Amino acid sequence: MRRNMRLFALLTLTAALNFCNVALAQPSEPKLLARYEDQTSSAHAGPAQMAGKPGIAVVFTGTDDLHYYAKAETAAGGFNLTITAEAESVAFGTPVFPQWKPFQDLDGSTVEVYVGDFSVFVPIDTPLDTMSKLPVTVTVTVSGIACTSKVCLPPFRQSLQTTIDPSQAASWPQISIEQAAPEEAGSKGKVVEGASYTTPIALILAVVVGLMFNIMPCVLPVIPLIITRLLDQAKQGRSRSMALGAVFCGGIIAFFAALAVLNIVLQVVYGRVFQWGDHFRNPAFVMAMSLLMMVLGLFMFDVFTIGVPSSVAGKAGGGKGAGGAFGMGFLAALLSTPCSFGVLAGIFAWAQTQPLPLSTLAFILMGVGMAIPYAVLVSMPSLLARLPRPGSWMEIVRKAMGFVLLVIAVKLLGALPRERLINVLYYSLVLSFALWMWGGWVNFATATGRKWAVRIAAVAIALSAGWMLLPEKTKLIDWQDYDPALIAQARQEGTPILIKFTADWCTTCSWVDKAVYQRKSIADLMEQKGVLAVKGDTTLADAQATIDLADTNKYNEPGVPVTVLHLPDSQDVHLRGVISRQDLKEVLDDLPDR
């Protein structure tokens, strides 16, 4: 009996130890790393093996938009994803990161990110047979910055803990990771805390960055206007010239002060980091800046002028009073932003890791740096007198800078989705025509009634075209790209199919799209009937849709627009040319509901 009791106790102890060993091999509880609206990402750590080597697996679970940066040089603020592991008497090797995925930013740049579900493996370099036989606690530190396609959240640093038993390494789960190429691998464990320069050096750099703004291609076009303004102010007397010059510099500093206030609001109220470039992720801002560049370019070409009423001009010093000086300074600073992304990223990243008073000072010092050349010119009339006098050279430079502004406008539009890009290009033509009406159809000798009629018509054209072309269109129908395999499978399953053959250069196709397929009634009817919507893009000659459309054994159609409907248990229907909603509705009504 006693022997049986000893045997039972031994078996119970063995089972308990096995249970503990299994429990110790389990990963830690998931910890939430980042959340924004419905986007989340969490991580947990646990013992694992990869290619026969023991280590720690850090498993990330997340949604498909919240991502981490893979490379410090392209990461927001330099905060790429970094992972370190620490345990007593245990050495860890270089973390093994998975292959990153490309992410297209709205400024047109491609960055390398980790997104969704992925794992990182931290190998154990210490031989297991030399480690303690007792369980070991491992602390894994995860740091970086999480972003979505809309915002970047504050940088984070979280700790995960797990316990490993080296004697049970054989039972640790096996994992595999599709690794990046050596030069594409993630961080080697170095935690990036921000730029390494000291506070005085960083503040000096802020001033230097501000000075550099004055040679940005985006600012150069307005330099002739600024010089002309300074020369005109000098004619009004030293005291007034210095006062207006100070107001002009104040306008520059006010722009950067506004950025500082925005940074404070985002960090204090919303807990967000102000990532330089956030405003260029907003299509509305990109469109506005591009159109502003285009309007300024047309102004350089003398397509239109902005006249100031004589009553106002008399009170404002020839139309160039304090308000005009402040506005010109603010505009000069604003125009520097499209060209300053790379220069500003470092100083903005540093500022966001500092106390708010210090980061605010850094923002303002950038404005001070940009304003310094103009303050020197205004305070030293002798230097101002040496500036080249206005003449034909300035007209040539001004018009040349107009082309620079147009190039910048086109570059900005490259960040827009293709559907909106086309509409903005159309609107830019309409807006150019309206500005030409404003400035070219009337002059100072034109009768007041006719002048008001022309300019009201110009404003009406610009506003109505903007209302029709600029708002983002709601996607009512989920169009699938043309794929013969997809169509064949759907036909085999008895699914009704609608193929819209179109082309970018086809004006009639655009008309059919707006009149028929951008109507909610048609979208609802197609949804009700369970119709598979396919877009056959025939813009290019070698596109598969183009080849199949002309194939006599397939569709045998000479051109677009044409809509082809594959109906179950019925002959195909071809709707050619300009069709109406009723034409399509008559065909779809005969189909049974989904």
Same domain, 37 and 76: yes
Same domain, 441 and 503: no
Looking at residue 186, its pLDDT comes to: 43
Looking at residue 548, its pLDDT comes to: 92
Same domain, 41 and 163: yes
CATH of the domain at 180: 2.60.40.1250
Supply φ then ψ for residue 285, to 5 degrees. -65, -40
Q: What's the total number of domains in the chain?
A: 4
Q: How many whole angstroms separate alpha carbon 164 and alpha carbon 55? A: 9
pLDDT in tens, 412-424: 787 777 778 888 9
Smallest CA-to-CA distance from 429 within 409, 449, 456 is with 409
Q: How far is CA 386 from CA 6, 227, 231, 239, 382, in A?
A: 105, 11, 10, 19, 7
User: Is residue 8 over pLDDT 90?
Assistant: no
Same domain, 408 and 438: no
Same domain, 211 and 140: no
**Domain-embedded: residue 193:** no
Same domain, 128 and 212: no
**Domain-embedded: residue 499:** yes
Same domain, 441 and 486: no
pTM, two decimals, is 0.49
**Domain-embedded: residue 399:** yes
pLDDT in tens, 194-209: 444 566 776 787 788 7
Domain that holds residue 45: 20-184
Looking at residue 530, its pLDDT comes to: 92
pLDDT bucket at 309, cuts 50 / 70 / 90: very low
**Domain-embedded: residue 534:** yes
Supply φ then ψ for residue 170, to 5 degrees. -65, -25
Same domain, 293 and 211: yes
Q: What percent of the chain has pLDDT over 90?
A: 23
CATH of the domain at 495: 3.40.30.10
User: Is residue 121 over pLDDT 90?
Assistant: yes
**Domain-embedded: residue 194:** no
Same domain, 115 and 127: yes
Same domain, 395 and 430: no
Looking at residue 210, its pLDDT comes to: 81
Same domain, 403 and 422: no
Smallest CA-to-CA distance from 299 within 226, 221, 391 is with 221
Average pLDDT, the chain: 78
Say which DSSP state 516 is in: I
Same domain, 368 and 226: yes
User: Is residue 386 over pLDDT 80?
Assistant: no
pLDDT in tens, 296-308: 788 878 888 654 4
User: Is residue 7 over pLDDT 90?
Assistant: no
Looking at residue 51, its pLDDT comes to: 86
pLDDT in tens, 275-296: 555 556 677 878 888 888 788 7
Strand order of the β-sheet with 39-50 is 31-36, 39-50, 53-62, 118-123
Last residue of a domain, which of 429, 454, 473? Answer: 473
pLDDT in tens, 560-591: 899 999 998 778 899 988 899 999 999 998 88
pLDDT in tens, 327-345: 888 877 877 766 655 455 5
